[in-house]
Amino acid sequence: MNEATRLINYSGGNLDDVLKRGWPRQRIGQHYFRPSPSWGGSCFPKDLVEVNNFYDKDKLNLPLISNIIKFKRYSCRLDFRKY
């Protein structure tokens, strides 16, 4: 599940209704709002972790990358709790 879908659900909205009424921004496709635990195949997650670890040992903080990793781990746990 991604952040946009979580915001729609949290606000009491219905994802299907939002998508049926037409998402106003064409550059963001409706597929973006379909929740899934997947996030870039088998290489992207491990590559992000490697990049983060590489710079972390030099004490360079990369908050965007580290927060993507944290959020996706959290998101996967949420998805598995549904089943």
Active site residues: 43
- C-alpha to C-alpha distance for 16 and 38, rounded to whole angstroms: 20
Q: Residue 30: how many CB atoms within 10 A of its CB?
A: 12
Q: What is the CA radius of gyration of the chain?
A: 16
